[in-house]
Amino acid sequence: MLASARSWGIYLLRRLVYLMVSLLGVSIITFSATRLLGNPVYLLVGTTYTKEMVENMTRELGLDRPVYEQYARYMANLLRGDLGQSRYTFNPVVVDIQRRLPATLELATYSLLLGALWAIPAGALAGRYRGSLFARLADFIARTGVSVPNFWLGLILIFLLFAAFHLLPPPLGRIAADASPPPAITGWYTIDSLLAGNLNTLWASLKQLVMPALTLAFTTSPSLFQITRNTTEAVYSTDYMRTAKAFGLSPWTITRYALKNILVPVLTMLAMTYGYLIGGTVLVEVVFAWPGLGLYAVDAMNHADYEPIMGVVLLSALFYILVYLAADIINSMIDPRIRMEGI
Amino acid sequence: MTPGQVSVQLAPVLHRPSAYQRLVTAHGALRVNLTLGLLLAVIALGLIAPLLPLPNPIKPDPFNSLKPPSAEHWFGTDPNGFDVFSRTIHAIRTDFALSISSVLLGVLIGVPLGAISGYLGGVIDNLINRVSEVIQGFPQLLFGMAVLAVAGNTLVNVVLITAFYNVPVYAKMVRSVVLPLRDVEFVQAARLSGNSPLSVVFRHIIPNALLPVVSQFPLSCAYAVQMIAGLSFIGLGVQIPIPEWGAMIQQGANYVVFSKWWPSVFPGLALVLSVSLLSSLSDQLKVLVTRRA
Amino acid sequence: MPNSVPLLAIRDLRVDLHIERDVLHALRGVTLNVGRGDLMAVVGESGSGKTMTGLSVMRLLPASAQITDGQILFDGTDLTRLQESSIRPLRGKRIAMIFQNAQAALNPLVRVGDQIADVYTRHAGLSRQAARQKAVEAMQATGIPNASERARGYPHEFSGGMAQRAMIALALASSPELLIADEPTSGLDVTIQGQVITLIRDVVRRLNTTLVVISHDIGLVSTICNRIAVMYAGVVMENGTTARITSRPANPYTAALLRCVDTRPTERMPFIPGRVIDLRQKWPGCPFAPRCALAQQICHDQAPLPVEVEPGHVSLCHFAHQVFEQDGSASYDAAAVRN
């Protein structure tokens, strides 16, 4: 037992090192993009400037220093949590991000849940009963989900569910215009409403969530569906499942045996989807006027303010890496073979 | 026949089926023909668009704005008075040209990169690998926004950033093909006969990677179209009045709540059609790759 | 020893296998009787249909395979006629099957001890605790060292031989009336093979289980089995006691096979010329005819009927008696090698 605990420890250490390296890589890429692609001085100084202003700003930003020194400064700022200043909200980017994060997080989480609720059971069934009518139908839905642009789908839903059939309220953000948001504890309107015991607000928030979450769920669930389906089919045709059947184990035991093996790739894909969603809500937030990180980045862009965008990029990349790491760790607990592999 | 000799009956030399024939065998004539046919039709339509008797796609007509589909305007008119049908057709040129050139650029950089990475191995390989992985985990749209904000909102930059995202995909693909081939006999023979490592890579190894690259290409174009349309939707890349599906959807977006659906819906349908045709083609081509062995 | 009513009687079993657009006639009329208490070996080359036969009895054929004709009578019941729901209670309880490549045949994410315990829980009705304890005992009985520690391990931590022992422990746990072992020693070190096959015999004796061992290694299985059935291209060519078949084969294929495994020094290495027939075709005659030194026109035109050359010894050959009289190997030597 000691041997397996040790191997696990080594594995965790490896993963953490990998995390550091990835974060480093991300920061290098974002740094390169800002410093090397454009001249931030001109971006920050505005449209009217004097030579003196440019020189001052250059010195202030440390752009006259060698590249590695600039990078060190950049990293130092990052580690302190300094992501720069937004020129149009006049807040530090970190503060803005803190305020906007819950909205995106709430939307992303519900989208993931909705997508997984459909994709995983459907994928399992489609994998078991290949060639069935259900499998072909589900496959068609998945293919459509991949081909449809999410911003367009959002508009379609708005047209059908709001404009044409008046089933849902207008897409004006997280809560209806005449309602007020619940007292902020987590920043999630749904959870906060529950905590405050206000069912009306809960209902109002949920109604606003339906269309954007449905849009995102529909366009991000296909990969979940496919991985579940392919893995289920593969698992059920393995030798070990045949052995289980050959020894007459109960249907529940056989399902349990299969699920364990199906879980690992599916969990990985769940993590990848969640990680993607945090950075991927941009267009949907624009369509539904959802005040999250995506809309924040777009607003910044429209104000020629690039630091907020970079801040959001960094946060999304960080989130993705963390979620992926979490899934990896959980997987290593389920599948002992993973602990023995290299990075 | 001396004892101990076994006569071997040679199989008759088969005519090697063409790629098209193999596709049809694998997927059925209907599916292959439908996909190829429609795709070629769409591209052809885009190519001849300026020659067709369509209303001018970039001439605004403010008196005719937001008219619903009719005999005169098949897809109706948008808020600026442009004919939506004409613009949808003309946008084929924009979207396909941008996406194909982006992916092509990504392939041209990624393929040699992956080949070198796989062939040389070691630190370089590791480095390129790590960088590829990091890029693939990036929030693509957001980062694209950031880059365009910093480097300038031009079409060239849109193509460049989209190409950038394709580089790791093809580098990885080629690397995985190159790795097992590194020590295979004919490569060693080429090396021994005095060819430089670089020429070995280019003349002997890369041709083997071509088939997977070709089968992946349409799918990458599909993703590229979606990215470009997405960027245009938020105002990056294509500017008015150039017809582009994402931009067109954006122009009609504010009017959907008023039930004026046609300026946004039709370009979207065109997007969906193009993307599904491209990914379908890629799917079908994958069969050619696996049969190779 | 032959019994009046066989435990397992396969009658003219035919199975088709669908691969891509082709139909392979994998089993072309397999007839085989296994009596209670027999240790029967089913031997043949790859493609002979021996594994298919085993899977058919268990009704574990892949979806691409279908039983097209014939009967599989287990204790009087025709298994081919039963629905899946009626077969399920038999599996593991009355008939069990163990497979080759045991590491791949065990669930990689479930502890080995738990997998054995699950069989105990299912068929012996034991509690979780008791089953776990029995599982360790079973592993000890099959010669796995440090059984209680090993039980908490996973299949990938087991060597090939040890995994096969774990597989046999599964058979111990289920204690069936009939055990089918599909190539239990292939892939294992030669030194381990003997141990494993002997272990199987001991387990089967201890449980009073009837055994059918499927193998391509006729030499190995003849060390434990009392009866042998030789299969070729989907039919049983010869069937009889080990002693008689190995000393006095009545079928040219069996004779040729025995010559190939004969370790006595010879002038040149024996082999069987030609290739197995195309299983996609239906051949009117004997499937071995294209390669047989004794083949005459009738062998190509007409399928041979089973001939009983002596009590309990059946051969599928038009010239079974002649082969039997001439004491097998000699007749093969004398004939000219055919194209």
Instruction: Encode pLDDT of C39-68 as tens digits.
Output: 999 999 888 889 999 999 999 998 889 999
C58 contact residues in A (CB cutoff 8 A): 246
pLDDT in tens, B125-180: 878 887 887 887 789 999 999 888 888 888 999 999 999 999 999 988 888 887 77
Q: What is the pLDDT at residue C116?
A: 95
* CA-based R_g, chain C, Å: 21
Whole-model pTM? 0.86
Which tokens hold the place of C173?
């746990």
Over residues C170-178, the mean pLDDT reads 92
Taking an 8 Å cut-off on Cβ atoms, the answer to whether C107 and A336 are in contact is no
User: What CATH number labels C1-85+178-339?
Assistant: 3.40.50.300
CB atoms within 10 A of CB B175: 24
Taking an 8 Å cut-off on Cβ atoms, the answer to whether A279 and B141 are in contact is yes
From chain B residues 6-45, the ones with a CB under 8 A of any chain C CB are 6-7
What band does C333 get if pLDDT is binned at 50, 70 and 90?
very low
A40 contact residues in B (CB cutoff 8 A): 150
* Subunits close to C (at least 3 CB pairs below 8 A): A, B
Q: Does B151 touch chain A (CB under 8 A)?
A: yes
* Subunits close to A (at least 3 CB pairs below 8 A): B, C
What ipTM was predicted for this assembly?
Answer: 0.87
Question: Chain C residues with CB-CB distance to B under 8 A?
Answer: 268, 273-274, 336-337, 339
Q: Write the CA distances from A232 to A45, A224, A238, B114, integer angstroms.
A: 57, 12, 10, 32
Taking an 8 Å cut-off on Cβ atoms, the answer to whether B6 and C268 are in contact is no
State the DSSP string of B44-76: HHHHHGGGS----TT---GGGTTPPP-SSSTT-
Taking an 8 Å cut-off on Cβ atoms, the answer to whether A260 and C110 are in contact is yes
Instruction: Inform me whether the pLDDT recorded for C331 exceeds 60.
Output: no
Best mutation target, B39, B134, B258, to test chain A (most A CBs within 10 A): B134
* Weakest-pLDDT range from A178-192, A195-209, B89-103, B161-175: A178-192
Instruction: Inform me whether the pLDDT recorded for C1 exceeds 50.
Output: no
Q: What is the pLDDT at residue C266?
A: 66
Give the separation between CA C214 and CA A234, rounded to whole angstroms.
26
Q: Does B2 touch chain C (CB under 8 A)?
A: no
B142 contact residues in A (CB cutoff 8 A): 279, 282, 294, 297, 309, 312-313, 316
Q: Does A129 touch chain C (CB under 8 A)?
A: no
C99 contact residues in A (CB cutoff 8 A): 239, 242-243, 246
Q: Does B121 touch chain A (CB under 8 A)?
A: no
Angle (CA) A214-A220-A223 rounded to 5° is 140
CA distance B208 to chain C (A): 26
Do the domain assignments include residue B226? yes
Give the separation between CA C274 and CA C276, rounded to whole angstroms.
7
Q: What is the pLDDT at residue C91?
A: 93
CA distance C328 to chain A (A): 39
Q: Domain of B266: which CATH number?
A: 1.10.3720.10
Count of CB contacts below 8 A, B vs C? 9
pLDDT more than 70, % of chain A: 92
Taking an 8 Å cut-off on Cβ atoms, the answer to whether C122 and A249 are in contact is yes
Residue of C nearest to B26 (CA): C20
Over residues A122-147, the mean pLDDT reads 93
Q: What is the pLDDT at residue C328?
A: 46
Task: List CB contacts of C324: < 8 A, sequence separation 6 or more.
Answer: C248, C249, C250, C309, C310, C315
Give the separation between CA A285 and CA A294, rounded to whole angstroms.
6
Task: Count how many domains chain B has.
Answer: 1
Residue type, A184: A
pLDDT in tens, A255-314: 999 999 999 999 999 999 999 999 899 999 999 999 999 999 999 988 878 888 888 999
Best mutation target, A155, A211, A290, to test chain B (most B CBs within 10 A): A155
Q: Residue C268 in 3-state DSSP? A: coil
Q: What is the pLDDT at residue A340?
A: 67
Taking an 8 Å cut-off on Cβ atoms, the answer to whether C337 and B1 are in contact is yes
Q: Pairing mode, if any, of strands C77-78 and C235-241? A: unpaired
Over residues C187-193, the mean pLDDT reads 89
Q: Does A234 touch chain C (CB under 8 A)?
A: no
pLDDT in tens, A207-260: 999 999 999 999 999 999 999 999 999 999 999 999 999 999 999 999 999 999
Give the separation between CA A117 and CA A112, rounded to whole angstroms.
8
CB-nearest to C109 from A239, A249, A260 is A260
Count of CB contacts below 8 A, A vs B? 145
Spans of all domains in chain C: 1-85+178-339, 103-173
Q: Closest Cα to residue C174, out of C61, C71, C95?
A: C95
CB atoms within 10 A of CB C17: 19
A87 class by beta-carbon count within 10 Å (0-12 exposed, 13-18 middle, 19+ buried) = middle
From chain A residues 252-271, the ones with a CB under 8 A of any chain C CB are 253, 257, 260-261
Best mutation target, C109, C114, C146, C170, to test chain A (most A CBs within 10 A): C109
A258 contact residues in C (CB cutoff 8 A): none
Q: What is the pLDDT at residue B197?
A: 59
Which tokens hold the place of C97?
């099957």
Residue scoring higher pLDDT (C59 or B291):
C59
Residue C268 contacts residue B4 (beta carbons within 8 Å): yes
The conformation of residue C291, written as its DSSP 8-state character, comes to G
Instruction: Inform me whether the pLDDT recorded for A331 exceeds 50.
Output: yes
Instruction: Inform me whether the pLDDT recorded for C338 exceeds 80.
Output: no
Q: Write the CA distances from B95 to B43, B102, B156, B240, C110, integer angstroms.
A: 11, 11, 13, 14, 51
CB-nearest to A249 from C90, C108, C118 is C118
Taking an 8 Å cut-off on Cβ atoms, the answer to whether C339 and B3 are in contact is no
The conformation of residue C24, written as its DSSP 8-state character, comes to E
Give the separation between CA B252 and CA B84, rounded to whole angstroms.
10
What band does A26 get if pLDDT is binned at 50, 70 and 90?
confident
Residue type, B4: G
Q: What is the pLDDT at residue B205?
A: 66
CA distance A196 to chain B (A): 32
What band does C337 get if pLDDT is binned at 50, 70 and 90?
very low
pLDDT more than 70, % of chain C: 93
H helix runs in chain A, sequence order:
2-37, 40-45, 51-61, 67-80, 93-128, 133-147, 150-157, 189-196, 199-236, 239-246, 251-280, 282-287, 293-302, 306-334
Taking an 8 Å cut-off on Cβ atoms, the answer to whether C170 and A243 are in contact is yes
Instruction: Inform me whether the pLDDT recorded for C335 exceeds 70.
Output: no
Taking an 8 Å cut-off on Cβ atoms, the answer to whether A253 and C118 are in contact is yes
pLDDT in tens, B218-268: 999 999 999 999 999 998 888 878 899 999 999 999 888 888 888 999 999
Residue of A nearest to C117 (CA): A249
Residue of C nearest to B7 (CA): C339
Q: Write the CA distances from C271 to A161, B10, C256, C259, C262, integer angstroms.
A: 77, 21, 8, 8, 11
Over residues A49-53, the mean pLDDT reads 74
H helix runs in C178-319, sequence order:
190-207, 218-221, 242-247, 252-261, 297-301
CA distance C273 to chain B (A): 6
Give the separation between CA B54 and CA B42, rounded to whole angstroms.
16
From chain B residues 216-275, the ones with a CB under 8 A of any chain C CB are none
B22 contact residues in C (CB cutoff 8 A): none
CA distance A335 to chain C (A): 6
pLDDT in tens, A58-103: 777 667 777 777 788 888 888 888 888 887 888 888 899 999 999 9
Averaged pLDDT of chain A: 87
A240 contact residues in C (CB cutoff 8 A): 104-108
Q: Closest Cα to residue A343, out of A10, A9, A6, A18?
A: A18
C17, containing H or E segment = strand C8-19
To the nearest 10 degrees (0 to 180), the angle between helices B122-136 and B155-181 is 130
Taking an 8 Å cut-off on Cβ atoms, the answer to whether A248 and C174 are in contact is yes
Q: What's chain B's length in residues? A: 293
Taking an 8 Å cut-off on Cβ atoms, the answer to whether A242 and C154 are in contact is no
CA distance C235 to chain B (A): 25
Count of H helices and E strands in chain B?
A: 11, 0
Sheet hosting strand C65-74, strand order edge to edge? C22-34, C8-19, C65-74, C77-78
Q: What is the pLDDT at residue A272?
A: 92
CB-nearest to B1 from C268, C274, C339 is C339
Question: Which domain range does residue B137 map to?
Answer: 88-292
Taking an 8 Å cut-off on Cβ atoms, the answer to whether C170 and A247 are in contact is yes
CB-nearest to A261 from C96, C109, C118 is C109
Residue scoring higher pLDDT (B126 or B1):
B126
Residue type, B167: V
Best mutation target, A15, A301, A312, A314, to test chain B (most B CBs within 10 A): A301
CB-nearest to C58 from A246, A257, A335 is A246
| Residue with token string 């906060």 | A192
Q: Closest Cα to residue C228, out of C258, C260, C185, C188?
A: C258
CA distance B70 to chain C (A): 51
B3 contact residues in C (CB cutoff 8 A): 336-337
